[in-house]
Amino acid sequence: MTERSVETVGSGKTSRRRRIFIWSITLALAVSMALPLTALLIPASQAQESGQQADDKSNPRADYWREVRGGNAGYSAVQGQETDVLIQSQGQTWSELRDGPVLHLGLWGVGSILVVLAIYHLMTGGYKLQGRTGRKIPRWPGIDRFIHWYTAVLFLVLAITGLSLLWGRTLLIPIMGKEAFAAWANMSKPIHDYLSLFFTAGLLVMLIKWFHHNIWKSYDFKWLVSGGGYLGGSGHPPAGFANAGEKLLFYTLIFAGGAMVVSGLFLLFPNWGTDRAGMQLANVIHGASSLICFMFICLHIYLATIGSEGALEGMVHGEVDEQYAKQHHPLWYDEIMKGKTSGDFAGGGSAQPAPAAPRKE
């Protein structure tokens, strides 16, 4: 064998070893990179079972605490409903729901309404009367005004105390501090609980007494389509003694207000036999329905005060200007004018007062 052939064989072996070494390194790197990804090939349920089995082997009390977490009843010397259940897991779900969607959506909803009303008022200055006549039409008798203000004041007190408990951790503690908020919450809770009973009585009387004013009519849809005249347009949208907006508020108080009252009673009287799951459901319903009512009341307060000229006079003095009746409640005004003369208006001579609330629109 010549010297040249020996060198050729030697270089070939060196090249082969080099290729083997490079491929070995490449394969090792590929395997090391692929191994972590094999976990994705294992179904989640199987991995969970494997992990659970490992926990069971490492913690002999795992079965015990799993049963406790599952809400299984044990033994307790304390007698009472669910006293033998140590942990109710649904409480975590309730907490996340209350402190999540109920709290934050309610905050955004109320805030959005206040911002929209502020922008509307800055742009329009509110809905003005097209000239006053100076003649007054009786609208709300004294008993109706008493029921309204009695219920309204109690609602505002309940709203302040209730919403401060709902939003306290998010809004008030950063402003007041923990100690001051604790003192406020300690005072707000009994006030909210006791006054709620008086509010319930007022709301029930108000809904019964004013139901005949709020029966839905076909022309109420026209009022909604035109935005009640608050969004511009010519002419006056049809409305009887109560317009469609007031009727929407009325039915909101029936359904959302009814849910608020019923759920509140369950929270106020836990000795009715409601279990913890029922109390948690009542708490969520109470919070959500209260926020719905509060948003509608915010809109009502604006439209009944600075948002609509002449509206507040009816609930304060019991009378409204003739132009207000003509502009906001034309069908009711026409009903009043049937068979009436100028002498039938307050301020226009000796009056035979027109009925404040005709049952037939």
DSSP per-residue codes, 144-167: HHHHHHHHHHHHHHHHHHHHHHHH
The Cα 147–Cα 209 span in angstroms is 10
Token couple for 68: 């406790």
More confident residue, 281 or 89: 281
Average pLDDT, the chain: 81
Q: Which among 115, 325, 346, 124 has a CA at the least distance from the CA of 239?
A: 325
Q: Which among 277, 253, 271, 260 has a CA at the least distance from the CA of 192?
A: 260
Q: Is the pLDDT of residue 308 over 80?
A: yes
Rounded to 10 degrees, what is the CA torsion of 156, 162, 166, 167? 40
Q: Which among 291, 138, 272, 297 has a CA at the least distance from the CA of 203?
A: 297
The Cα 221–Cα 216 span in angstroms is 9
Contact between 164 and 185 under an 8 Å Cβ cutoff? The reply is yes
Long-range residue pairs from 208-214, CB within 8 A, at least 24 positions apart, any chain: 209/144, 209/147, 210/144, 210/242, 210/250, 212/359, 213/240, 213/241, 213/242, 213/250, 213/357, 214/242, 214/246, 214/247, 214/250, 214/251
Interior/surface letters 79-106, b for 16+ CB within 10 angstroms, e for the rest: eeeeeebeebeeeeebeebbeeebbeeb
The CB-side HSE value for 241 (13 A sphere, CA atoms) comes to 20
Q: Where are the beta strands (DSSP E) in the chain?
A: 136-138, 319-321
Confidence of residue 120 (pLDDT cuts 50, 70, 90): very high
- Dmax over CA atoms of the chain, in Å, equals 144
Confidence of residue 78 (pLDDT cuts 50, 70, 90): low
Q: Which among 285, 207, 287, 290 has a CA at the least distance from the CA of 247?
A: 207
Confidence of residue 284 (pLDDT cuts 50, 70, 90): very high
Contact between 335 and 360 under an 8 Å Cβ cutoff? The reply is yes
The Cα 100–Cα 84 span in angstroms is 30
Q: What is the pLDDT of residue 150?
A: 98
Q: What is the pLDDT of residue 122?
A: 94
The model's pTM is: 0.73
Please compute the mean of the pLDDT values over residues 8-31 and round it to a whole number: 62
Please compute the mean of the pLDDT values over residues 292-320 and round it to a whole number: 95
Confidence of residue 54 (pLDDT cuts 50, 70, 90): low
Burial label, 333 (beta-carbon count in 10 A; 0-12, 13-18, 19+) = buried
Give, for 293, the enclosing helix (H) or strand (E): helix 276-304
User: Within 10 Å of residue 265's Cβ, how many Cβ atoms?
Assistant: 15
CATH class of the domain at 107-344: mainly alpha
Q: Is the pLDDT of residue 15 over 80?
A: no
Burial label, 30 (beta-carbon count in 10 A; 0-12, 13-18, 19+) = exposed
